Amino acid sequence: MNLDNVKLNLETDLVLNIGDPIGKTNAPRVYNKLFSVLGMNAIMLPVQIKKGDLSQFLAACRTLGIRYFSPTMPHKSDIIPLLDEVDEMSRIFNSVNAVYIDQNGISHGVGLDGKGAVTALLDSAVELDGKNAVILGSGSISGVIGIELIKHGVKKLTILNRTMEKLSSIADILADRTEAEIIPMLLNPGNLDQAARDADIFLQCTPLGMAGYPFTHEYLGFIDALPQSATVFEVIINPPETPVISAARQRGLKTVPGMRMLAGQMDVIFDFMFGVKLTMEHKEACIAELNEYLGLEEK
């Protein structure tokens, strides 16, 4: 990767991607590609921060003058109480993935996974208006993705999760704030098949199948229940060919892999963090960078 833009001087902005584990992240490649294309004197580095250590991390950022960081699992929720300002939807759904500290020392956080997901779908020519969507999982990003889908016209949203507490919380919030039909369902093979039969868009929003995560999907038979016209969306970036994406492609279904979501949210993240506007060409450069790094041809 060409990083001639990085001068490694007092003006170099250090941007951190924090998580636990963090070794499999691909976000720095995308950020650093954009920094190079845009000629920004900045570099992103991955840093492993243990759960429970965010207070010390934030204090270190202030001491060292580090103004930008991107939290990933398990910090997207835990960072919120430590920030000075968080937008309403990110606070309601307990998910932040972009933070900057302004010149006055005020920390600002926002969750942009929902906008990234919708942008990735729209950029992939997926119609949302009037459609039925199914979200697998009710973690910190499911709510922000759900609200953005509904804002863009999804009329029915089914959410499946293993436990009812988190599932009911997200479903109730969405039902109270939108006019869409919200259907919470406990996760089991029968319910998965039932939800899949009526889905125009199926969104995999769990860490199952992620590199370094100890668990994967116990049941993928629901892929066979999806209509042939359905689109399958994945939030996981690494590996790019997740179990869900692989099964969907074997069936010949349209897929939107996680790298598309990562590229899709770069425009709103760069605007939020740096005040920089991106173009479609910039986003395509992100995807090309990931494809080259991973030795892939986009499917």
State how far the Cα of 270 lies from the Cα of 42, in Å rounded to an integer.
12
The residues, ordered by sequence, that sit 6+ positions from 286 with a Cβ below 8 Å of its Cβ are: 30, 33, 34, 259, 262, 263, 266
Q: How much is the pLDDT for 296? A: 55
Give the mean model confidence (pLDDT) for residues 44-72: 95
Secondary-structure breakdown of the chain: helix, strand, coil percentages, each rounded to the nearest 5: 40, 20, 40
Distance CA 294, CA 155 (A): 36
Whether the per-residue pLDDT at 299 is higher than 70: the answer is no
When comparing pLDDT for 23 and 233, which is higher? 233
CA angle 254, 197, 191 (to 5 degrees): 120
Known active-site residue 76: yes
How much is the pLDDT for 194?
Answer: 98
Which residue in 76, 115, 166, 283 is the catalytic one? 76
Over residues 119-129, the pLDDT tens digits come to 999 989 999 99
User: Does the pLDDT at position 132 exceed 90?
Assistant: yes
Task: Calculate the alpha carbon distances from 122 to 127, 129, 148, 256 in Å.
Answer: 7, 11, 12, 10
Q: CA dist 69 to 41, 75, 162, Å?
A: 16, 11, 31
Q: Which residues pair with 170 in a beta bridge?
A: none
Percent of the chain with pLDDT over 70: 95
**Tokens found for residue 130:** 């009037």
- Do the Cβ atoms of 293 and 29 come closer than 8 Å? yes
pLDDT of residue 210: 86
Identify the structural domains of the chain with CATH numbers, from first to last: 13-111+265-294 (3.40.50.10860), 114-257 (3.40.50.720)
Which range has the worst mean pLDDT, 7-21, 82-96, 177-191?
7-21
Nearest to 2 by CA among 262, 285, 238: 285
Distance from C-alpha of 235 to C-alpha of 207, rounded to nearest angstrom: 8
Residue type, position 218, single letter: E
Q: Could you give the residue ranges of the DSSP H alpha helices within 219-278?
A: 243-250, 258-264, 266-274
The phi-psi region of residue 196 (left if phi > 0; otherwise alpha if psi is between -120 and 50; otherwise beta) is alpha
